[in-house]
Structure 1
């Protein structure tokens, strides 16, 4: 499975916004500058997070983004689902009913095949793992100077 760069961007932005929580909303241009990303493209990547209630967006000259809820209430799965959608990664098209299987009785296909079951279990495990980790966990796992480094860089680019 391959996720788009929007997931990485979204998670990093959520982490930075959590570290800068005592500041006013952070403008897209400032977030983009922290990571050297194109501002307009970043803005498009953050909009699904706003729609899903992960970020709040304030329009205007003093506007920008803030976390809409506490970092411990934003799971990695929340961000992945917002950016990538909720569609399952594996889609069984029942190819076993075609070709040689086309003449078999429908009762032979009453249960999902082993491939569909295995893929379903794997995806469930993946989703559970992402749902068990939060932005607060990412913050806790970051190097001890990451928050201070982010704060000083932010303060430098806004000075």
Structure 2
């Protein structure tokens, strides 16, 4: 299983924001430089996180991005869902068969993975 690079960048960006003073907004350029990526590409990722309420943005001279007030509750799964969506990792070719034993095994494994990621908070790494 593989998540996109966008998820990797989102996880690292949220962690970077969590490890820096909350009173200071960080510009997209500064955040992009931390990961050596394009500010334009990171802006698209940040917009998804803003839409989900994990971070907020402000414009102006002192504008930039900062974590939401309740950032301690942000889990790895929250960030993954914000970037990748909430669809299943496994797509059974026999979708019309609810008794598919392969699908049952794969979905059970996915539920365990999601539970682990739901229990891991960004705050655990700060």
Q: Structure 1-normalised TM-score?
A: 0.73
Aligned partner of 1:36 in structure 2 is 36
Which SS does the other structure have where 2:57 is aligned? strand
The CA distance in 1 between the partners of 2:101 and 2:49, in whole Å, is 35
Note the C-alpha offset of 1:22.
3.3
Q: Which moved more, 1:61-70 or 1:117-126?
A: 61-70
Note the C-alpha offset of 1:14.
0.7
- CA deviations 1:87-124 (Å, max 9, x no partner) are 111122317x7xxxxxxxxxxx5x42110100010110
Q: Structure 2-normalised TM-score?
A: 0.91
Q: Is there any run of 5+ residues in structure 1 with no aligned partner, and where?
A: 98-108, 140-159
Instruction: Find the partner of 2:109 among 122, 126, 133.
Output: 122
The CA distance in 1 between the partners of 2:69 and 2:53, in whole Å, is 8
Instruction: Find the partner of 2:119 among 116, 125, 132.
Output: 132
4+ residue segments displaced more than 4 Å: none
Aligned partner of 1:148 in structure 2 is none
Aligned partner of 1:152 in structure 2 is none
The CA distance in 2 between the partners of 1:93 and 1:69, in whole Å, is 43
The CA distance in 2 between the partners of 1:119 and 1:69, in whole Å, is 36
Aligned residues: 126
Alignment check: 8 A CA contact 2:22 2:67 kept? no
Where in structure 2 are the equivalents of 1:8-87 lying within 5 Å? 8-87=8-87
Greater helix content: 1
Aligned partner of 2:6 in structure 1 is 6
Q: RMSD of the TM alignment (CA)?
A: 1.6
Q: Is there any run of 5+ residues in structure 2 with no aligned partner, and where?
A: none
